[in-house]
């Protein structure tokens, strides 16, 4: 390994160390309440060193969100490959189950995705990480669109729906419902003896029925 390659590797290691430290700090007390001083202390770097790599907490947060989306897409792609032979409706259900599994396995990454509110500046800046985040987010949505197209071809999904709009509605509904139910899971279990994953699955089944083509042509 040459000097240049070794230097680049060292820089990448430091950058990832800072992101790792920021995850621990942000996940414990939220990005809004955390400070760059706390991130620097957790990473065992000077604040000046942290600012060499990141100009703000928001930049670090984008890196964390990118990790979150990549982990989600890995789980989605693995499941779609594993169960490639199932029909489109079952694949839509599989996406919902994958999102449930993701929220359980990576609860902090799940919150990073559903809590993020995009800004107008996201689409006018030259921030490569932000653009990559949106690109990763679109991958999950593209999988859903492709499954909807497959469903139309199979005669399982209504033919008169707009695929883009339907995918966005389903994705937004899933994210919002998951976020709300997860936050209220103690209440639901105490008053209704309902487990969050069970309610999420039933809600997802309810949404799917709105796009399924009725058998018999009606």
34 burial class (0-12, 13-18, 19+ CB within 10 angstroms)?
buried
Confidence at residue 120, expressed as pLDDT on a 0 to 100 scale: 56
pLDDT tens profile 4-27: 787 888 889 999 999 999 999 999
What the chain holds in terms of domains, given with CATH numbers, is 1-54 (1.10.10.60), 56-210 (1.10.357.10)
**pLDDT tops 50 at residue 218:** no
pLDDT tens profile 195-216: 877 787 788 888 899 999 876 5
Tell me the average pLDDT of the chain. Answer: 88
pTM of the prediction? 0.85
**pLDDT tops 50 at residue 50:** yes
CA–CA separation, 29 and 21 (whole Å): 13
Q: Mean pLDDT across the stretch 70-88?
A: 95
Lowest mean pLDDT of 1-5, 50-54, 82-86, 136-140, name the range.
1-5
Confidence at residue 30, expressed as pLDDT on a 0 to 100 scale: 87
- Among the residues of the chain, which ranges form H helices? 3-29, 36-43, 47-53, 57-82, 88-105, 107-115, 128-154, 163-183, 185-192, 196-209
Confidence at residue 86, expressed as pLDDT on a 0 to 100 scale: 95
Tokens read off for 169: 């509605």
- High-pLDDT (> 70) share of the chain, %: 94
The DSSP line for 83-104 is: TTTS-HHHHHHHHHHHHHHHHH
Q: Mean pLDDT across the stretch 39-57?
A: 95
**pLDDT tops 70 at residue 72:** yes
């Amino acid at each position: 390994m040459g000097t240049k390659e070794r230097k680049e590797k060292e820089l990448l290691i430091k950058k990832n160390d800072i992101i790792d430290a920021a995850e621990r700090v942000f996940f414990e007390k939220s990005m809004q309440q955390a400070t760059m001083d706390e991130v620097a202390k957790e990473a065992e770097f000077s604040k000046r060193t942290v600012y060499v790599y990141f100009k703000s907490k928001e930049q670090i947060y984008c890196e964390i969100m990118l990790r979150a989306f990549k982990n989600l897409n890995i789980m989605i792609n693995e499941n779609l490959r594993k169960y490639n032979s199932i029909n489109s409706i079952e694949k839509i259900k599989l996406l919902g189950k994958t999102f449930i599994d993701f929220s359980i396995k990576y609860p902090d990454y799940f919150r990073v995705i559903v809590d993020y509110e995009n800004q107008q500046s996201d689409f006018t800046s030259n921030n490569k990480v932000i653009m990559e985040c949106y690109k990763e987010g679109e991958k999950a949505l593209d999988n859903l669109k492709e499954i909807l197209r497959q469903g139309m071809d199979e005669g399982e999904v209504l033919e008169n729906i707009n695929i883009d709009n339907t995918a966005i509605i389903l994705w937004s509904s899933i994210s919002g419902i998951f976020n709300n139910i997860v936050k209220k899971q103690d209440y639901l279990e105490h008053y209704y003896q309902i487990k969050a994953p069970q309610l999420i699955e039933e809600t997802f089944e309810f949404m799917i029925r709105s796009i399924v083509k009725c058998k018999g042509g009606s």
